[in-house]
Amino acid sequence: MVRWGFIGCGEVTEKKSGPAFGLAEGSAIEAVMSRDASKAASYAQRHNIGKYYTDPIELINDPNVDAVYIATPPSSHATYAVISMKAGKPVYIEKPMAASYDECLRINRVSQETGVPCFVAYYRRYLPYFLKVKELIGQIGKVINVQIRFAQPPKELAYDRSNLPWRVIPDIAGGGYFYDLAPHQIDILQELFGYILDACGVSTNRAGLYDAEDSVSACFKFEDGLVGSGSWCFVADESAKEDRIEIIGDRGMICFSVFTFQPIALHDSTGRHEFDIPNPDHVQFPLVQAVVDHLNGKSVCTCDGISATPVNWVMDRILGKI
């Protein structure tokens, strides 16, 4: 049995991830932590968790906590991961793995030195929807090009510059919404086509709602020579809203979404075919089960820090951070 301690109990843990740790076979939730005592107590009560803390170190040092789920903003991922692994506790880190490529390297170095595993929450690799995309790729011949197109209106309508959401503060998030949302897109493409070995981009702030980038364009090349491009706008009008990836082959095309899970569309010589693939209620469940099985010695989960780090490298290259 793997007994988990949560550092952080924000929105992502309410349905996407948190309940999965209690539902997975061979897994239980031992404790939760938030610096806000009332928030920690409320979360523990609502999710039937017996213990809560306001100090992350106390949670990490709890002898009944076997592994730590780090669900805080990216700027603290490396610190909590390093402390946990040095205490002998495996970690499961929310994406992106850290606020920079260099911090990912630090996490991996400590994992290697201690022999304590680190996993990252790129759960789309295990979802039925994306497994279906992977299955369909063989039907479009040789893949020639990949394109990401993403646009959304501002998430918050009234920005108070004295109290901005952390996702648009680069010192906390690593960048703007690009650093929060693009990791899932980049990771699933690397899962399908191998690592991206070259990437560049341009970014700007067009709306002036915050200081971080709000519009990004990029191009990249995978290890086998496949090229791709991406365009992201986080201050678009509602009419321009889009969540789409196109995989273009010499005998067809696959179109799918990353966040809205629109039906997958396969275009081939016989026409257009749609596949509406449902996902589990708690979307992180398949990956959480794979991590638990790994820690219980039943199988090997490869969604680890080593495989997650290239995502940060690509994003940092696109934003000109490295």
**Structure-token match 């002998």, residue found:** 88
pLDDT at 158 over 70: no
Which pTM does this prediction carry? 0.95
Q: What per-residue confidence (pLDDT) applies to 161?
A: 77
The model's pLDDT over 64-74, given as tens digits with 9 standing for 90+, comes to 999 999 999 99
Q: Do 103 and 233 belong to one domain?
A: no
Cα separation of 238 and 58, whole Å?
Answer: 45
Mean per-residue pLDDT, 126-147? 98
Q: What per-residue confidence (pLDDT) applies to 306?
A: 98
Could you tell me if 71 and 10 are in contact, meaning their C-beta atoms sit under 8 angstroms apart? yes
Q: Do 55 and 167 belong to one domain?
A: no
Position 157 confidence tier, pLDDT thresholds 50, 70, 90? low
Q: What per-residue confidence (pLDDT) applies to 150?
A: 98
Q: Do 137 and 254 belong to one domain?
A: yes
The model's pLDDT over 243-258, given as tens digits with 9 standing for 90+, comes to 999 999 999 999 999 9
Asked whether residue 153 is domain-assigned, the answer is yes
Q: Which contiguous run of DSSP H or E holds residue 107? A: helix 101-114
Position 162 confidence tier, pLDDT thresholds 50, 70, 90? confident
Which is nearest to 68 in space by CA: 33, 38, 36?
Answer: 33
Mean per-residue pLDDT, 301-315? 98
pLDDT at 160 over 80: no
Q: Do 72 and 208 belong to one domain?
A: no
Q: Which domain holds residue 159?
A: 128-278
Asked whether residue 183 is domain-assigned, the answer is yes
Q: What per-residue confidence (pLDDT) applies to 217?
A: 98
Q: Count the residues in the chain.
A: 322
User: Going edge to edge, which strands form the sheet with 2-7?
Assistant: 52-53, 27-33, 2-7, 67-70, 91-93, 118-120
Could you tell me if 93 and 307 are in contact, meaning their C-beta atoms sit under 8 angstroms apart? no
Q: Do 198 and 91 belong to one domain?
A: no
Mean per-residue pLDDT, 34-45? 96
Position 159 confidence tier, pLDDT thresholds 50, 70, 90? low
Q: What per-residue confidence (pLDDT) applies to 156?
A: 63
Q: What per-residue confidence (pLDDT) applies to 222?
A: 98
Q: Do 101 and 190 belong to one domain?
A: no
Looking at the DSSP bridge assignments, the partners of residue 91 are 68, 118
Cα separation of 290 and 302, whole Å?
Answer: 9
Position 41 confidence tier, pLDDT thresholds 50, 70, 90? very high
Mean per-residue pLDDT, 167-194? 97
On average, the pLDDT of the chain sits at 96
Asked whether residue 93 is domain-assigned, the answer is yes
Which is nearest to 116 in space by CA: 142, 93, 136, 146?
Answer: 93
CATH number assigned to the domain comprising residue 59: 3.40.50.720
Which is nearest to 212 in space by CA: 148, 155, 149?
Answer: 155
Q: Do 150 and 261 belong to one domain?
A: yes
Q: Do 150 and 257 belong to one domain?
A: yes
CATH number assigned to the domain comprising residue 266: 3.30.360.10
Cα separation of 49 and 35, whole Å?
Answer: 17
pLDDT at 28 over 70: yes
Asked whether residue 82 is domain-assigned, the answer is yes
Cα separation of 98 and 269, whole Å?
Answer: 43
Asked whether residue 322 is domain-assigned, the answer is no
Mean per-residue pLDDT, 89-107? 98
Q: Do 201 and 295 belong to one domain?
A: no
Mean per-residue pLDDT, 278-303? 97
DSSP 207-264: S-SSSS--EEEEEEEETTS-EEEEEEESS--GGG-EEEEEEEETTEEEEE-SSS-PPE
- Calculate the alpha carbon distances from 203 to 72, 89, 215, 234, 244 in Å: 26, 38, 6, 12, 20
Mean per-residue pLDDT, 217-221? 98
Mean per-residue pLDDT, 81-90? 98
Q: Do 94 and 178 belong to one domain?
A: no
Q: What per-residue confidence (pLDDT) applies to 144?
A: 98
Domain count of the chain?
2
Looking at the DSSP bridge assignments, the partners of residue 148 are 230, 245
Mean per-residue pLDDT, 88-96? 98
Q: Do 73 and 170 belong to one domain?
A: no
Q: Which contiguous run of DSSP H or E holds residue 198? A: strand 196-204
